[in-house]
Structure formats: C-alpha cells, structure tokens
Chains A and B, each alone.
Chain A
Amino acid sequence: MENKKVLLLGDEAIAQGAIDAGISGIYAYPGTPSTEITLFVQNSKEAKEKNIHSMWSANEKTAVESALGMSYAGKRSMACMKHVGLNVAADAFVNSAITGANGGMLVVSADDPSMHSSQNEQDSRFFGKFAFIPILEPGNQQEAYDMVNYGYELSEKFSIPVLMRITTRLAHSRSGVTTGEKKEQNELKLPDNSKQFILLPSIARKQYKTLLEKQKDLLLESENSKYNQYIDGNNKEMGIIVCGLAYNYLMENYQNDCPYPIVKIGQYPIPKAKIKKLTEECKSILVLEDGMPLLEEELRGLLDKDVKVKGRISGEVPRDGELNPAIIRKAIGLELIEGTKIPEFVAARPPALCVGCGHIDSYKAMNEAIKDAYGDGHVFADIGCYTLGALPPFNAINTCVDMGASITMAKGAADAGLFPATAVIGDSTFIHSGMTGLLDAVIEKTNIVIFIFDNSTTAMTGQQDSHAFGRVKDICLGLGVAEEHLRIINPVPRMHKDFVKIIKEEIAYNGVSVIVPTRPCIHVFKKIRAKMGEKK
C-alpha cells in the first residue's frame, strides 16, 4: 500500500492516515458523517495485525477520555465524532487542552452544514478556539490523509491535542489518495511531568498559563504552515480568504486562474500576518468558509469599523447552509450558469422507516394507546431511525433534541404535571446518554413510561454494534426499575393487541415503567440470515 494511489472517502483517508501515523487506538461513537473513519480501521487487516484498538465507545465523552488516557500512556490516539458529539465530549475536550497531551492525540469532528443528517450545523472550529486547541481543516482527501501525520507531530511537538475539522462533503466524497510512510507505534511512556494530568486548582492554574503561553508558538507554527498559503493575484480590487474545501469551489470557477490574491487556510490559530498583508493590499475582502462565519466575525470585530469584508454576515454568501460552486460563483460576481427548472409536480421524497421495520409496529401500538386516548403531545423521542416517527403516516413523536433527551424531557414534563409523559429511545442511544436520566427518574419514582426500542444495533448510521446488545434488561433492573414494570414485547402485527394493553397498564401505574419492544433491525436480521446461509 506504500506510496500507492488508492480511492478513499475523506473519512477513510483520515483512517488510513492514522494507521500510517502509528496510532495505537481509535475511539468513537457512530455519527454521520464521521462513522466511516472508525469503520475503516475496524475493517483494516493492517490495523488488526498492528493490534490497533478500534471498538466503539459508549459515547463521545468516553471516547475522548479513553483517547486522552492512551495519550497519557505515551501512545498516539484518535477520537472521532460528529459535530454534536463534540458537545457531549466537551468537558473532556476542553480540559485536555489544559492537561496537554503526552503521546500525540487527534480529535476529529465532522461538521454537517446544511444538516443532511443532523439537528444543527454548528461549526467545530469554535470549540477549537474556545479550548485553545490548534485546528486542522483539510481541503481535499489528500490533505485529509497528510494532515493526520502532521497533526500528530504538531500534537507531540507542543504537547497538546489537535482538532481536525472536516465537513460532510469531504467526509463522504471519494478521490485518489497517495499514501506515505508507515510509522511504528510509540513506546509506552509516562508523562515527564507527573502532575501534568492532575487538574487540581493549584496545578490547573499553572497548566492553564502554560496553555496560554503556547498560543504564540502555535500561531507562529500556523503562520509558517504549508497548509496556510498566500497566493498572489494581479487584481487587488478584492482579496479572498478561503478555508478548507471552499478552495475547491473557488478553483472550480476560476480553473486555477483566479485574478484575485488568495489566503488559503487549512490550519488555525488564524495566520494573522498573511491576513494582514491581504487586507492592506486589497480594497475589499471576501471570506469563504463552510460552516459559520468564524473568521469573518474576527475580521469585522465588534464594531464593524472600516468594513470592507464580505461574506456570510453581510449577505454575499448565504448565512447558513453548505457552500457549493454556484454560491461562490455568485459571491465572486461571475454570471450564473442555469440549468432546466425542476418540473413542479416532482414531489419531495423524505426518508422513511424501512418496510418491515419493528418501529412501525411499535408506533402503531403507541398511537392507539397514547395519542388516540390522550391526544397529541405526550411522546418525547430521541436520535435514531425512530425519529422518522415524526413524519406521516405516524406523527407519533413530539420532540427530538439531543442524545438521551427523551427520558429526561419526559421526566421534566411529568414533574410539571403532564400525564401521561412517555419517552422513546433506541437501545444504542439509551447506552450513550439515556441510562443516567433513567436513574434520575427511578430515584424520584417519576410517573413516566419509557420505551426502549431494542433493535440490536446502532441502525441509523449503518448497523454498528451496540453496547446494549443483550444487556438492556439487566441495565434497567440494575438501575432500579421494578421487574413487574419492565415489560419486554416482540413488536409484530400479531402482538398488536397485547402491546396496546401493556402500554395502557403501564400508563395506569404511577411510577417508572420501561417497555422494551425487542426485534432486530431488518438489515441486521438479513445479515444474520445471510451468515447462517453461508454456514449451511
């Protein structure tokens, strides 16, 4: 594989980069568009031979903490997540800047501008800046590969974790990547400073000062980085600052022949000197960044004084959503090329639960027992395939906020007096962030009914293994759910009447009830059947 060109998704390029950079472990919870990074390592023969850890973590926080522990032990580690996963991991992430790293540590956060598969389009670069952690933002698959090794060198040179920020378009786009040198894994080695990782206030204050002092060195590194380039142009009417993969859209429009000077950014802290040069030379500045206007805000400052900056805030670029070649074409003032209009009759085709999915039967029973009896507004749901229960023909759920919020929001609503208050959560999401909320409810004997849709997998992201497999019942009992109010049912059409009856009984019970419709995801079932067929 050495120095060979291979076709890789952006996610896969990062994974191969990590294997080649000598990581000893990758830690992650599945989340679109980041899932394929860890999947690639799990399926890599090479990673298996090198004994690289790649099992899924319970959530993003446990993932970052494990990666930090591996770094503590002197080895290179990676933690991967989608952007909202970084919220879950934020406590560990922000504090890891203060402890610093021992072995190189990379946190990869995959943002989803335009919310192709997410609840928001937050920009992870803000988190990097907030935590004083340097950021790498690859513009294409090759850079994604190359930056991983560079990121580990950066991390070890400055003893600090490094954030790599990608977006959906790079994560899920394939291109040829030339792979490089393969590094050996680090030896086990404890930190030189034995107090480095103890964030007691007295030590944390010192460590924090060290972190702040590192910033000027990180800035210098960024100014001189090959990933931050000043590319000259003759026409100084406008200068263009372009971050990450927005550069590709710009070049698509100019075909390597942009008349304006450009500052191309792939590494942060923001390279101040290069930007200063551009702003002094040019009459106006256009900022192109996929995600939120981080750089544009900094350039404008609070007072918007002497403004010659154009971008998302001033409206030359739309305030939200993913960038594309047409948006940039408009922003640089070139004439738009238009295709044929979509005929009016073309109907939207939203995603839907698969034919034969067990969630369909669960929602049918729930609608009859809850919505038909008490009206709409009683079902707090969560993140997973079952979120599609919000759409017709079910219209069965009323909320979807963040991982685990179903149980806790139902609890809050029950505390406020809502009856019945029910929650829907999948088995994998329950493990991720639902268990603690269940404990809250059990302790207070809150009057709620919780449905744990157990389909034996993390289905939405493509059927990854779930830690919940075979453990849901024991976990609930262990957390203190009464055995007689822990009801397990097979959600199939012939059980519909029984299912409705169970729900009604548990709504009538004043306390915590957990109903577990248990039936494997049809895709998992197909895989199991195919495996059994092979054995025959």
Chain B
Amino acid sequence: MKSDIILAGVGGQGILSIATIIGYAAVESGLYLKQAEVHGMSQRGGDVQSNLRISDKEIHSDLIPEGSADLILSVEPMESLRYLPLLSKDGWLVTNSTPFINITNYPDQEKIDKAINDLPNKIYLNADQIAKDLFNARGMNMVIAGAASVFIDIPFAKMEEGIKVIFGKKGESVVEKNLNCLRAGREYSEKNR
C-alpha cells in the first residue's frame, strides 16, 4: 500500500488540519508516514502545499517525485492545478470549486472549470456550499478530506476517530459537525467517481 498525496490551498485555509486527520488515521493503522509542511513567510496568504506520504514500507524522500502522486487534494480550484506535474497519469484530483481570490489577476472561473473537468480522474465539488448546508461554514476542509478518503487506502473509521481526537477539546457538537462534513464529502465522491 502506498498513497502519495499533495495537499494544496492558500495559506490560512486549513490544509494542515486535513493532513493531521489523515496522518492520525495512517499512524493508527500502523503505516509509515512522512509529511513535508510549509512554514514561515508563505503562510501569509500565498500558495501553500504539503507532501503527505503514507506507505506500508519505509518511505525515503520527504518530497513526492514528479509524476507519481496518487492524489491531489485541494481546498481551492486554481491551486489544485498548480501541482499537476506531480500527479501520476492515473492519479486523482479532488478539489473544492469555490475560488479564493486574493490576487488581482485571478483567471476566469470558466478556464479553471474546463481544465479540471477535462481531467480523466477528478472530483470537483463545492465544498463550501456542502459545509454551509450542514451549518458548519468552517468545515469545508473536512468535506474535502472526506471526498478524498475514498482514494486513500486506510479505514474510514480511523479518520472519523481522528476528528474525535483532534476536535474533542472543542466539545461534542464541534466533533459532530465536522464528522457530518467528512461523511458528506465521502458520500459525494462515492456517487460521483
């Protein structure tokens, strides 16, 4: 088993919480893990990515080699495209469709939609809307984590457990809301893959 995942987004959108949940599930499943993060200046509203590698064998590189990622998991549509050179030919791209526009030259939404829809393996969902419908506007990243979970070979129950551990301090209702988002994301992928 090997799952090389690129997590993508804009600084402050919460990709590291996704990495934490998947990471927790991987370690609890007895797998090896390496996760390269971005700290420092780029966290200030710039493009950020994290390389998350999970395997049942020892992992060498902290970085995912070009053309070999199994999954791009992105919380922002344009950002999902930035890492295409890393995606393997049969890899999947799972991305939120709600743009985060903090630059003046953000491309036309139509161009982005087309580029994503033209890919053979993609899940393109409005995670912001799904989270809002579940009364958890801040749960967008958990929707994406859920949508991606279909493509990661670790028991889904372990990811649910991860949410309980990580959000446990914030109380029962926060845990429940995030679990709902995670499950809704997963359901979307199962229907649309």
Contacts and interface: CB of A to CB of B under 8 A. Distances in A.
Interface of A: 7, 9, 32-33, 35-36, 116-117, 169-170, 172-176, 245, 248-249, 251-253, 255, 324-326, 329, 336-343, 345-354, 385, 388, 392, 460-462
A325 B39 contact: no
Contacts of A354: 44-45
Contacts of B32: 175-176
Nearest to A6: B27
Contacts of B23: 7, 174
Nearest to A250: B60
B27 to A, nearest CB: 6
B63 interface: yes
Interface string B79-106: 1011011111100000000000011111
A352 B39 CA distance: 14
Interface in B45-70: 45-47, 51, 59-69
B44 A9 contact: no
B80 to A, nearest CB: 10
Contacts of B69: 339
Contact of A345 (B47, B64, B111): B111
B171 interface: no
B39 A343 contact: no
Contacts of A349: 10, 45-47, 78-79, 102-103
B44 A388 contact: yes
A176 B33 contact: yes
A276 to B, nearest CB: 28
Interface residues of B, number: 53
Contact of A343 (B38, B104, B115): B115
A325 B47 CA distance: 22
A346 B107 contact: yes
Most buried by A among B35, B61, B115: B61
B41 interface: yes
A385 B45 CA distance: 12
B66 A461 contact: no
B42 to A, nearest CB: 5
Contacts of A460: 40-41, 44
B37 A9 contact: yes
Nearest to B58: A256
B65 A337 contact: yes
Contacts of B33: 7, 174-176
A175 B103 CA distance: 34
Given A176-B27, A339-B67, A116 B42 contact: yes
Given A32-B39, A342-B82, A249 B61 contact: yes
A116 B40 contact: yes
Contact of A252 (B41, B60, B81): B60
A437 B51 CA distance: 42
Contacts of A36: 39
26 contacts: A7-B23, A32-B40, A32-B41, A35-B39, A117-B41, A117-B42, A172-B37, A173-B62, A176-B32, A252-B65, A324-B63, A336-B67, A337-B67, A338-B67, A339-B84, A340-B87, A343-B81, A343-B115, A346-B81, A347-B103, A348-B47, A349-B103, A351-B42, A352-B102, A354-B45, A392-B104
Interface string B110-130: 011001000100000000000
Provide the main secondary structure of the chain A interface.
loop
Contacts, number: 156
A333 to B, nearest CB: 16
Nearest 4 A-B pairs (CB), nearest first? A32-B40, A117-B40, A351-B46, A337-B67
B152 interface: no
Nearest to A393: B104
B36 interface: yes
A353 B46 CA distance: 10
Given A325-B65, A346-B78, A349-B10, A339 B85 contact: yes
A116 B106 CA distance: 23
B34 A337 contact: no
Contacts of A338: 66-67, 85
Given A174-B23, A352-B46, A346 B82 contact: yes
B11 interface: yes
A174 B84 contact: no
B43 interface: yes
Contact of B60 (A170, A248, A461): A248
Nearest to A323: B63
B97 to A, nearest CB: 16
A340 B68 CA distance: 11
Contact of B61 (A116, A248, A388): A248
Contact of B46 (A172, A350, A461): A350
A348 B102 CA distance: 11
B109 to A, nearest CB: 11
Contacts of A172: 36-39
Given A169-B36, A336-B67, 18 more contacts: A116-B42, A172-B37, A173-B37, A173-B51, A324-B65, A325-B63, A337-B67, A338-B85, A339-B87, A340-B87, A341-B84, A345-B111, A347-B103, A347-B105, A348-B103, A349-B79, A353-B44, A354-B44
A334 to B, nearest CB: 11
A118 to B, nearest CB: 9
Contacts of B102: 349, 352
B105 A329 contact: no
A350 B115 CA distance: 22
B45 A33 contact: no
B84 A245 contact: no
Most buried by A among B63, B84, B88: B63
A342 B59 CA distance: 27
Given A345-B107, A350-B46, A174 B40 contact: no
Contacts of A345: 107-108, 111-112, 115
A338 B69 CA distance: 11
Given A325-B63, A325-B66, A342-B82, A174 B37 contact: yes
Contacts of A175: 32-35, 59, 62
Contacts of A392: 104
A169 B106 CA distance: 29
Contacts of A385: 44
Most buried by A among B11, B44, B79: B44
Nearest to A32: B40
A348 B78 CA distance: 10
A354 B64 CA distance: 30
Contacts of B68: 337, 339
A256 B23 CA distance: 25
A57 to B, nearest CB: 19
